[in-house]
Amino acid sequence: MEPRLNYFGNPLAGKILRHINSAGKVASESGVPVATQELVKIRASQINGCGFCTDMHTKDATVAGETPLRLNLVAAWREATVFTDAERAALELAEQGTRIADAAGGVSDEAWENAAKHYGEDQLVALISLIAVINAYNRINVINRQPAGSYQPGQFG
């Protein structure tokens, strides 16, 4: 599979990506555990069918110390016993935030209240922002048909 265009090599795309990356960096420095951030990014990417981001974030999570067991169970997190209550709340928020077009009410009050039990206001802002950023990246890569499998951890700096 070949991408439709060289998005990562395009000067205009580079300008756009710098802004998205800046937002993602601020959110990633919020105090939300790195493992939780990667789980959220992986789950949204799975839902959106973004192989490139799923590849990237499973590899980045592995380098950060995530276990193969947990990575293999992200898609079935509800049935898995390997995630904390806080991680489950973040995964639910990521799922509902990613599938907002599927639900007339958007993110449910129950999902929000559960997340708020585990995360402070700044961390909730960060989670919302991380979910928005990964969804933006998913859409860029899916629309462009960016192939998966060749990402090397750290390749984007």
Q: pLDDT tens, 38-61?
A: 999 999 999 999 999 999 999 999
Question: Domain for residue 81, yes or no?
Answer: yes
Hey, CA dihedral for 114, 116, 119, 122, is it positive or negative? positive
Cα distance between residue 120 and residue 47, in whole Å: 26
Question: Domain for residue 125, yes or no?
Answer: yes
Residue pair 46/75 in contact by the 8 Å Cβ criterion = yes
Question: Domain for residue 65, yes or no?
Answer: yes
pLDDT the model gives residue 103:
73
pLDDT the model gives residue 102:
83
> pLDDT exceeding 90 applies to what percent of the chain?
92
Cα distance between residue 44 and residue 27, in whole Å: 16
| DSSP 8-state assignment for residue 79 | G
Question: Domain for residue 8, yes or no?
Answer: no
Whole-number mean pLDDT of the chain? 95
> Cβ-count burial of 20 within 10 angstroms (0-12 exposed, 13-18 middle, 19+ buried)?
middle
Question: Domain for residue 16, yes or no?
Answer: no
Q: What predicted TM-score, i.e. pTM, was given to this entire model?
A: 0.95
Cα distance between residue 56 and residue 83, in whole Å: 21
pLDDT the model gives residue 155:
84
- What pLDDT band is residue 101 in, cutting at 50, 70 and 90? confident
Cα distance between residue 13 and residue 72, in whole Å: 32
Q: pLDDT tens, 50-96?
A: 999 999 999 999 999 999 999 999 999 999 999 999 999 999 999 99
Question: Domain for residue 4, yes or no?
Answer: no
pLDDT for 104 beyond 80: no
Average pLDDT over residues 26-34: 93
Residue pair 54/45 in contact by the 8 Å Cβ criterion = yes
Question: Domain for residue 87, yes or no?
Answer: yes
| CATH assignment at residue 93 | 1.20.1290.10
Its domain, for residue 127, covers 32-144
Average pLDDT over residues 105-128: 96
Question: Domain for residue 92, yes or no?
Answer: yes
Cα distance between residue 44 and residue 117, in whole Å: 22
**Number of structural domains, the chain?**
1
Phi/psi zone of residue 129: left (φ > 0), alpha (ψ -120 to 50 degrees), beta?
Answer: alpha
